[in-house]
Structure 1
Amino acid sequence: MRVLLLTTEYPTPDRPGAAAFLVRHVEALSKARVEIDVIHFVSRASPMNHFRAWKHMRAQLRSKTYDIVHAHFGHASMIARLQRLVPVVVTYHGSDVMGIVGSNGQYSLKGRFVSFISRLMSLLVDEVIVVSPHLGQRLPRKRYHVIPLGVDLDRFAVTPREQARDQLGWPQDSFVVLFAALDLANPVKRFSLAQEAVRQLEDTIPVSLKTASGLKPEDIPLYMCAADVLLLTSIHEGSPTVVKEALACNLPIVCTDVGDVRDQLNGVVPGAICSSDPAALAEGLRQVFQSGCRSNGRGKVASLAEPLVAARVIEVYWGMLKQRIRRNAVS
């Protein structure tokens, strides 16, 4: 099976950690004997990028025979559907459905319009995958597949906290809150909210806030094993990969109620799902500090191992091909 993958997020020399989850997913599909070519374009930079992506896709489709065009992020589906020869599946991840947040912390008018068009595209493609149920509920299309992106359980393994801190040079006696984001200035992530929540603990707990930003993807597991808790303060998410990675490392999580975190954290202790109030988040962090232990999260993500998630996506691919064969037989 040969797949052409279009995406608006992928690593670049200046953003090597971008969409690391998608890179791992492509690797898992390749190991499952799916031949994949990737076209990456930056949708927000310039309208000309869409034109170049369309030309690139057209040239690629002429050079090889593809079975599936898979668009990751709704913006990429707009390009993918400009051709009618190859079936199209789109995976929605979050902001492509929820909208784009501006620097003022509010959803922008342009972002709302783009997400509206992105959602409409679900009616024009052959199949739809969403990474969490709440994204599917926002689409005009009623039939879709819920497949969260997976986690590399070999890479995100449990390392003793003391050993991880020695490697990073962190003090052993500090309660370390980890904030992980590719870009700390991204208004969706609300780093300032995390800072305020931690600030409220400084008089009563020996706390420190560490950031995992701009790191190489292979360095993230060590940070998670060295920290005491992951703090996620996003205004919205799809199915946050960082939460699944923290679970795999048995790192407790305190977060806002976004995406599918309630499902992911069901039965996981210690940890807390809080409102966007700094005091509530600070209290969640205090509870983790008082517990003094790691979480039981790793067992929760066993079903999200990369090979298992890849197999579910391949099932969608085969279903699309079978539908195409039936349609051709009828015509």
Structure 2
Amino acid sequence: MDHKELPATVREDYISEETKKLISSLPVNKDSQGNLCKYQGCWYYYNTLQGAINFQNHFQPQDTDVILASFPKSGTTWLKALTVALLERSKHHDDHPLNHPLLSDNPHAIVPFLETKLYLRTSTPDLTKYSSSPSSSARVFATHMPLHTVKEGLRGSPCKIVYMCRNAKDVLISLWYFKCKYQKLEVTRSVLESTFESFCGGGNFYGPFWDHVLSYWRGSLEDDPSRVLFMKYEEMKEEPCVQLKRLAEFLGVPFTEEEEESGCVEKILELCSLRSLSDLAINKIGKTSSGPDYKLCFRKGEVGDSKNYLTPEMEMRIDMIIEENLKGSGLSF
């Protein structure tokens, strides 16, 4: 892929002189798309690092903000959709009227990423358009940054943070498919093997995976439980109603008895399902601001799909790495 065709997140054209000096002092790495550096324990492409630093230095949090966090390809689109549906439901309670935001726009456009959308090109983005409806005072943003990096930009604000994690092997397969489709590569074993090696080495974009997950896991245990909610993709798939109600409680918008009896929980889950969202015209033809087609946000969404692609040896290696790095944390997959 030509440099000009690369997404802005990967390029190196928004970096300040100060950040260039910082990069010169950091560990560096390289993958098939570009150069990465390790900042506060996490690997970033250079432009994305600038976005993270802009966020840390200039974001003005509000106490009612909601931050949706995840490692890439861990159910981010689903989490965004569910959160939007929960916060918007007092306005759109009659069987998803045509003006529901999720019917006309992609969840990634409604809930922007802080470091790769809002703060990537500027330190002073206009955030007024992201204030939610009058029915909710919350602004909702997203990030792939680890918790300790996010906290620097929150400046002690008590805003709520929701983290969605997913089994590492399924994340890997989703990353592989996304990489091939976005870079217009054939979906081959050789690309899978290179993605696998990068993932296991921890030097991939936003890696290491285990450190990322642990930052939010420990935050959910050590911080006020009302501040950080740790969710598992697999539990969302297994008990969607239970987990959606848990999310609603955490966000301060619990379902009323009347809502539950009227099937509101099930309606939101249907609206936000992979099948429903992927069938919408906007998600078939639209593009993200950084380049990828919206349709690349939707694949299978299945739990355990990795077993169809990884060899037993590959599965064993990832399992051993994850087990070793999560040892003693109380977290398991």
- In terms of fraction of residues, the more helix-rich structure is 2
- In terms of fraction of residues, the more strand-rich structure is 1
Per the normalisation by structure 2, the TM-score is: 0.32
Per the normalisation by structure 1, the TM-score is: 0.33
Larger Rg: 1
Q: With CA pairs under 8 Å and 6+ residues apart, which has the higher RCO, 1 or 2? A: 2
